[in-house]
Amino acid sequence: MNSFRRLLPSATSLVVFEAAGRHENFTRAAEELGMSQAAVSYAVRGLEEQLGAPLFHRVHRAVELTDVGERFHADVSAGLARIQKSAEDIRAKGREVNVTLAASTAFASMWMLPRLPRLRQDLPEVDLRIQTSVRELDLEEESIPLAVRGGGDPVDWPRYHTALLAPEVINAVASPAFVEAHGMPRTPADLARHRLIWLEEPVRKACDWPEWFASAGVSYTSQSKGLVINDYVLVIQAVLAGEGIALGWQHLTGRQTRSGALVPVGGHVLETGQAFYIVWPRSRELNAHAARVRDWLLAEGQRDREASVS
């Protein structure tokens, strides 16, 4: 870089040269740049002296690029265009107030939506867009800055930065009306005698009842699954309607449990050792608004974890 500065000490001369070569007219270049024609001529002459070669043929009332000038102009034009594009991208990134968060429908509905009033209060300048999908979107391909992902080890996502949002903790939940009508199941074995609601994930692998019972040391086999639903939001709506007992992911059902809308039953909690993370691409920097949304989400996750142990 020092040798470049010795060769071309003034970047302004490159801007002047690009305009003069594009117009092949010093007067029109001066009008575009808000300079005098004499200043344009002086800058070009200085650049030629620095390079040791003529860049223009000067004819009566006109100029035209020399062969050397044409080659140099092509390189300068391409370089300045790239710099301009990069600067425009940075400026647009800094101004962008829309932040997209990719997440499952369950997370969007049960975790995010109840918190939107606080998000608007805490980050009034940010417009949050929530994009739900049954599959995990490629954030780089989709140009999405943030996502919520569940998994066991962040090294499974080498292209992303990760930050812990919530550990995966699963208990069984029922509605107060169900418990009143059928009694309180106090052990996992008690649960096996009740009507269970099953989540059948179409894409993502999720803990199921046999896995949950096994973690409690109970062998569970069922002749019939009864009610099977492939959408977790509908699973919880069925629980609230008194249709049976379902597995409750605590980061999603914690609010309803604390409010009394859901009741923990069965006396067993499964900590899977996996977790849910906020992820963002390593390939690009988050803009200021996306970084604030990320930090806000992580603070909310910390608030939830503290509430769960208090």
> What CATH number does residue 219 fall under?
3.40.190.290
Provide the pairing of β-strand 160-174 with 246-249: antiparallel
Hunting for tokens 């995966």 — which residue is that? Answer: 168
252 and 298 both lie in a single domain = yes
Q: Are residues 52 and 139 in the same domain?
A: no
Residues 208 and 220 in one domain: yes
Which residue, 268, 260, 269, is CA-closest to 175? 260
Shared-domain flag, residues 29 and 40: yes
Instruction: Give the pair of three-digit tokens for residue 235.
Output: 């699973």
* 294 Cβ contact partners less than 8 Å away, ≥ 6 residues apart: 146, 163, 278, 280, 286
Q: How many CA atoms within 13 Å lie on the side-chain side of 53?
A: 11
Domain that includes residue 17, residue range: 2-95
Give the model's pLDDT for residue 157: 84
Q: Are residues 73 and 126 in the same domain?
A: no
Same domain, 67 and 193: no
Which pLDDT value is given to residue 11? Answer: 79
Q: Within this chain, do residues 85 and 135 fall inside the same structural domain, yes or no?
A: no
Q: What is the pLDDT of residue 147?
A: 96
**Whether residues 296 and 193 fall in one domain:** yes
If asked whether residues 166 and 237 sit together in one domain, one would say yes
Please give the pLDDT value at position 141. 86
CB 198 within 8 A of CB 209: yes
Count of structural domains, the chain: 2
Query: 102 and 54, same structural domain?
Result: no
Same domain, 204 and 148: yes
Spatial separation of the C-alpha atoms in residues 29 and 14, rounded to whole Å: 12
pLDDT string in tens for the chain (310-residue length): 555 566 665 778 889 889 988 998 988 998 988 989 888 889 899 888 888 899 999 887 778 999 999 999 999 989 888 888 777 666 655 555 689 999 999 999 999 999 999 999 999 999 999 999 878 888 988 889 999 999 877 777 889 999 999 999 999 999 999 999 999 999 999 998 899 999 998 777 889 999 999 999 998 877 676 799 999 999 999 999 999 999 999 999 999 999 999 999 999 999 999 999 999 999 888 999 999 999 999 999 999 888 776 5
Domain boundary among 35, 65, 95: 95
* Domain boundary pick from 50, 73, 95: 95
Q: Which domain-ending residue is among 39, 74, 95?
A: 95
Please tell me whether residues 216 and 276 are part of one structural domain: yes
CATH code, domain carrying 49: 1.10.10.10
